[in-house]
Amino acid sequence: MAALTSKEKKKIQKKILQLYAEIERHNRLYYKDSRPEISDFEYDCLKSELLHLESLLPSEMGKIGIGDDRSGNLLTHKHHVPMLSLENTYNLDDIFDFDARIRKLLATEKNIEYVIEPKIDGLAVNLIYEKGQLKYALTRGNGFEGDDVTENVKTIEDLPFHIANVPDLIEIRGEVYMDDEVFQEINTERASAGEIVFANARNLASGTLKLMDSEAVRLRHLKILLYGMGEGNCLEKQSEVYPFLRNLGLISQTYYHVITNLDNIAAIIRDFDRERKQLPYATDGVVFKVNERALQEKLGVTAKAPRWAFAYKFEPERAETILRSVTFQVGRTGVVTPVAELESVYLSGSCVARATLHNADDIMKKDIRIGDTVIVEKSGEIIPAIVGVKLENRPENGLEKLIFPKNCPHCSAQLIRLPEEVAWRCPNADCQEQIIQKIIYFASKTAMNIDGFGESVVRKLIEFGKIKTPADIYALQKEDLYLLENFGEKSVSRLLSNIECSKKTELWRFINALGIPSIGEKIAKDLANHFYHWDTLAVAPLAELERIRGIGRKVAQGILNYFHDSKNLNLFQQLQKIGFEFEKITAQYNPHFEQKVFVLTGTMQQFTRNQAKALIEKNGGFVANALSVNVNILIAGTDAGQKLDAAHKKNIPIWTEADFAEKLTHIAP
Ligand code: IVH
C-alpha cells in the first residue's frame, strides 16, 4: 500500500479520536449505566473500524481500554488475577486466522486442542473464596478492580457460600444472568404496571446486580454460571474446570465440546446456533479456549485480552423496512413512549409491524425520519429495535426531522424526566389522556374485566362528560349508553349488566384496577392473598407491606404514597360506596394445591402456561419462577430441561401433566 500523505494521516487521526470518544461513551452506557444505546453488534462494528484505522497508523494503537463497569457508589476490591476481555469476530474465516496465530506463537504445526463453550450474554463476576468461604463477589470493573457486589450475589439461589478442599485463596469466574422466563415475567408485570419495559435480560441483570438493596435483588432471581478460574487454578486443562467446579457444588457449564481440529467447525457452530435458543440464558456466540493450561501460560495475555482465547459471535437477525409514522403514546402513569409504526416485515420467525423506541435520546441522535428505510434488529429475546437508518435511500428533497415532544401531546404540560429515569413523563395528574388510560386499565381484562368497556367506549363517554373517574362507571344510566354509536337496547343492557357483574369479583382484580404505580397483576395477587380486605391494605404500615412475599421496599413505598395522595383517597372513598363484593381468594379447597408453591417447566398439551397458573392459583397454590427451598412441586411438561434435572437433584417432587390434571379433579368436600 502506498505510504499515507500527511493530510491522509491527519484525517485518520481525527477519525480515530472521534471513535475513541464514541466508544468510551458507549462503554460508559453499557458497563456503568446498564443502559446501552446501540446493539452489541453496532458496538463491535465501531471497535473493528477503530482496529482497522489503528492498523494503518500503528503509532496510535491501543488507547481504548477494556471498559469499566465500576459505578462509583459501591466499594471496590482488587482481583488477584486481572479479568480481561476477549477478542471477537463475526467472521468464520477469522477462526482459522486466530488458530494460525496461536500456532505461530507456539511455533508448532500441530493441531491445537480447544474447548468451545457458549458465550453467555450476562455480566462477568469474580468469586473470591478465602479458606473455602465466599469472601467477595466482584464485577469485572476496569479489569484490575471491580465493584463489590457480594451481598447481591449471595441472593443467588444454589450458590454455596462455603466450598471444601480448595486452596486457601481461589478465584472462580463466570457470568451472572437472568433467565429469559424471569425477564419476560418482570417485563409483563412492568408493562401491566404502566412502566417502561427493560430492553433485554442482560441490562436488567447488570442493573440489578448493582442495586443497593439486596432484598430487591433477591426478588429478581439472578442466576450464575461459572466457567473459569483465576488465582488458585491447579488444573492442567480448561476442560477439567467444569467438572471440578461442579464437584465443589458450584453451577458450571455443561454444554461444551473439546475439539482436536477445526475440520467441522462450521457445522458445530451451526448446530450450536440452533440449540442455543433452547438454553435458559441468552448467548451471543461461542468462546474458543486453548485447552492445555501449559500452552495458555506460554501464550500469555496482552493488555486487553488473553492470547489463548477468542470469541466467534453471531450476527443479530436484521431486516429493512419503512418507518411509516411515530406515535407518542401517553400511558396511564404519564410515561411517554414513542412507538414506531413500520411497514410489516418478517424477522426471526415473526411479523414485526411496531417497534418501541424506548430510548428517546437515541432516535434523536440517529436522526430517524418518517419515510426512512430503517434497519430493525431482533437478537435473542430483545424486543425489535430500530438500530439504523439507510441514509442512501432517503429522497433528495429530504424528509422531515422527527422531534421528541417537549410537551405532552395531549395536555401540553411540559414533560419531565425524574432523576435516574430514562422515561419522559407528563406530570399533569389531570391530563385527559392519562385519565382515559387509567379508566381503560380499570375496566381491562386483568383488572375489573368489564366486557365491552374498551377504549372506544371509554373515549366516547369521557367526551360526552359521562365519566371522569373509574367510580363514575358504576353510576352510568341507560340513557348515557344510548349516546354510544351503534348501541341499541340489547347492547346497552348487556353492558350495564357487565358493569353490575364486575362488582362481584376477586379482590386482586380490584387492587390491580386501582393502578397503583409499580403494581401489576402479580403483586396485586400477592397483596390480595395477604390482606383479604382492601380497607386494611389502604392503611397498612410500611413494615407490614415489606414483609409480604414478592414485595420490595420501592413497591411498598409506592403503595404507601398512593394511599397518602388526596386525589387517590378521594377515588378510593367513592369506590367504597359502590358495594363491591369480593370472593374469597381460594374459592375451591384442594389439598394438593393449597398453600403449596409450584414451578412450571416444559410444554403441556392441554394447558397453556397461563391456564395452568390460573388453575393452580384457583386451587389455592402459588406459582414461582425459579426453584428454591420454598418450592414444593415441579410440574414438568414435555421438553423440560434444566429445571427438571435440578428438581431431581434437590428431591423436589415432580408431577407430569397427567398428574396435574388428575390432582385438579380432586376437590375436597
Ligand atoms: S472466558 C480471560 N468464557 O465475555 C477470558 N468469557 O467479551 C475471558 N463471557 O468478560 C473470559 N461467556 O464476561 C469466557 N464462556 C465464557 C464466556 C465469557 C461470556 C464474557 C465475559 C468476558 C466477556 C468478554
pLDDT tens digit string along 600-638?
A: 998 898 888 888 988 888 787 888 877 877 789 999 998
> Is the CB of 596 within 6 Å of ligand 1?
no
Q: How far apart are the C-alpha atoms of 538 and 535, rounded to whole Å?
A: 5
Q: Whose CA is nearest to atom 21 of ligand 1?
A: 124
> Is the CB of 89 within 6 Å of ligand 1?
no
Bigger pLDDT: 407 or 215? 407
Q: How far apart are the C-alpha atoms of 639 and 287, rounded to whole Å?
A: 26
Average pLDDT over residues 387-391: 85
In sequence order, the 6+-apart residues with CB closer than 8 A to the CB of 229 are: 170, 171, 172, 173, 235, 241
- Domain coordinates of the chain in residue numbers? 6-60, 76-190+198-313, 318-404, 432-583, 597-663
pLDDT tens digit string along 279-294?
A: 878 888 999 999 999 9
Task: Give pLDDT, residue 669.
Answer: 41
Q: What is the per-residue burial (b if ≥16 Cβ within 10 Å, else e) of 275-300?
A: ebeebbbbbbbbbbbbbbbebbeebe
394 touches 367 (CB < 8 A): no
CATH code of the domain made up of 597-663: 3.40.50.10190
CA 229 to ligand 1 centroid distance, Å: 11
> Is the CB of 175 within 6 Å of ligand 1?
yes
Q: Whose CA is nearest to atom 13 of ligand 1?
A: 124
Q: Which CATH number fits domain 318-404: 3.40.250.10, 3.10.180.10, 3.30.450.70, 2.40.50.140?
A: 2.40.50.140
Task: Give pLDDT, residue 181.
Answer: 77
Which ranges of 71-149 would DSSP assign to H, the alpha helix? 92-105
- β-strand 385-389 against 123-130: which pairing, if any? unpaired
Beta bridge partners of 225: 175
Smallest CA-to-CA distance from 308 within 221, 238, 231, 370 is with 238
9's grid cell: 494521516
* Residue 359 predicted with pLDDT over 90: no
Other Cβ atoms within 10 Å of 379 Cβ, number: 21
Which ranges of 28-149 would DSSP assign to H, the alpha helix? 40-56, 92-105
- Confidence class for position 381, pLDDT limits 50, 70, 90: low
Task: Give pLDDT, residue 127.
Answer: 98
Q: Whose CA is nearest to atom 12 of ligand 1?
A: 119
Task: Give pLDDT, residue 586.
Answer: 47
Instruction: Look at the domain 76-190+198-313 and name its fold.
Output: D-amino Acid Aminotransferase; Chain A, domain 1 (3.30.470)
> Is the CB of 66 within 6 Å of ligand 1?
no
CA 406 to ligand 1 centroid distance, Å: 42
> Is the CB of 360 within 6 Å of ligand 1?
no
188's grid cell: 409483563
CATH code of the domain made up of 432-583: 1.10.150.20
Bigger pLDDT: 124 or 392? 124
Q: Which of 321-330, 437-446, 641-650 has the lowest mean pLDDT?
A: 641-650
Q: Which atom of ligand 1 is nearest to the CA of 305?
A: 2
> Is the CB of 227 within 6 Å of ligand 1?
yes
DSSP state letter for 111: P
10 is catalytic: no
So what's the architecture of 6-60 in CATH?
A: Orthogonal Bundle (1.10)
> Is the CB of 120 within 6 Å of ligand 1?
yes
* Residue 143 predicted with pLDDT over 80: yes
Pocket test for ligand 1, best of 27, 98, 287 (most atoms within 8 A of CB): 287
Residue in 9, 11, 119, 237 annotated catalytic: 119
Look at the chain and count its residues.
669
Bigger pLDDT: 361 or 316? 316
Average pLDDT over residues 390-411: 88
> Is the CB of 287 within 6 Å of ligand 1?
yes
pTM above 0.75, yes or no: no
Task: Give pLDDT, residue 268.
Answer: 93
Q: Which atom of ligand 1 is nearest to the CA of 228?
A: 1
CA 58 to ligand 1 centroid distance, Å: 27
263's grid cell: 475440520
149's grid cell: 457486589
Q: Which of 64-73, 226-235, 496-505, 657-666 has the lowest mean pLDDT?
A: 64-73
